[in-house]
Homo-oligomer: A and B are copies of this chain.
Amino acid sequence: MRDVAVVGVGMTKFGELWETPLRDLFAEAALACLKDAGVERGEVQSAYIGCMSGGLFVGQEHLASILCDYAGLNPMAATRVESACASGGAAFRAAWLEVASGASDFVLAGGVEKMNDGADATYCLATAADQEYEVYHGVTFPGLYAMIANAHMHKYGTTPQQLAAVAVKNHHNGTMNPHAQFSMEINIETVLKAVRVAEPLGLFDCSPVTDGAAALLLCPVEVAKELGKPLVKILGAGAATDTIALHDRADLAAIPVVGRAAQRAYEMAGVKPKDVDFCEVHDCFTIAEIVCTEELGLFERGRGGPAAAEGLTALDGKRPVNPSGGLKSKGHPVGATGCAQLVEVYQQLTGRAGKRQIKSPRLGLAQNMGGSGGSATVHILEVNR
């Protein structure tokens, strides 16, 4: 396998972008990415584009064709990949494999979702759960993650205050990210007093409905050196699946698919959790960040809540998590999220993260997750200065 590097990134502002269609979102991110890399459109040989549901959100499938068309990337090879909210991570993995194989030198990994266009977002998102055994009975995602939260609280004593600490920290980080959907500070009281969505989760425990796109350009390390770019190498990649329905899992206080994907990524990278300088973690709900930090091995099981409350995951903490503001504050355009996490990892590793810059990180990790944990990807990137 060839060693693969990231040589450019691009993303749109995340938010309720009512006047920007799906195709324009992708084109903006993809062209910004190529400009950042200093690579011409004609040099890119292939693209993988994560999108959860162009069909249900905006009535558009065949996304590889329409998105490359509007970005002026035809006639190159392109494929849309989908793994619900892990679609962006899956697109990055496929792009990595194509470059690693030797088939192509420049491959674009992108993600996009247009969620604000009139469709019923809650219904569309519910199609990431088991339609016949969960959704049919009325389950939606806040309900599924509320069950995980209740199980975690029961088993480990995790508190609403600890959940709230995740939201407060991520909103604080988001105030320093110009691409974030929300740019206001909140406090513990705001979260605890917010309208309830599904007990114990309130409005501020949930990530928002977001439009946006993100893209990265990948190439062999040898080509990246010729471009004179900072050397950000893909050191480890892991992906896994699990049962789609919560009722088929042995323990609701865990999300084992994340642990499995992480184990593969750590093994491939030859590193341990303590070696990673910061993580972008899939905080679709506050409880998800807590459980995922445990699955990633950043903290012992049951210690994710206290760690958040004690500030260990803050920008200046021992284990910074979601410096971008995470899904909670940056926003969660579901198909784009996995790529946006990797954009943040690249920006941090190359020292371009502005006010939210972590001091001289060497290793960054991005963890993306589909549904209530039916699929996950984990990527570990390293910068060589």
List the interface of chain A (C-beta within 8 A of B). 1, 21, 46, 52-56, 58-66, 68-69, 73-84, 90, 93-94, 97-98, 100-103, 124, 127-132, 135, 238-245, 248, 256-257, 260, 370-371, 374-375
The answer to whether B371 and A130 have CB atoms under 8 Å apart is: no
* C-alpha spacing A242/B147, complex, angstroms: 46
- Kindly list 13 other residue pairs between chains A and B, CB separation below 8 angstroms, not including A62-B370, A75-B240, A77-B239: A59-B135, A61-B127, A62-B129, A65-B242, A65-B243, A65-B371, A69-B242, A75-B242, A79-B82, A79-B239, A82-B82, A100-B101, A100-B103
Instruction: For A55, give its contact among B21, B97, B127, B245 (CB under 8 Å).
Output: B127
Least CB distance from A232 to B in Å reads 20
Chain B residue with Cβ nearest A73 = B241
Instruction: For A79, give its contact among B21, B93, B127, B245 (CB under 8 Å).
Output: B93
* C-alpha spacing A60/B68, complex, angstroms: 25
Least CB distance from A210 to B in Å reads 17
Least CB distance from A285 to B in Å reads 17
Q: Which residues of the other chain, B, contact A135 by a CB distance below 8 angstroms?
A: 59
* C-alpha spacing A370/B69, complex, angstroms: 14
Chain B residue with Cβ nearest A50 = B79
* C-alpha spacing A333/B98, complex, angstroms: 27
Q: Which residues of the other chain, B, contact A66 by a CB distance below 8 angstroms?
A: 130, 244, 374
The answer to whether A243 and B69 have CB atoms under 8 Å apart is: yes
Instruction: For A75, give its contact among B76, B78, B103, B257 (CB under 8 Å).
Output: B257
* C-alpha spacing A65/B370, complex, angstroms: 8
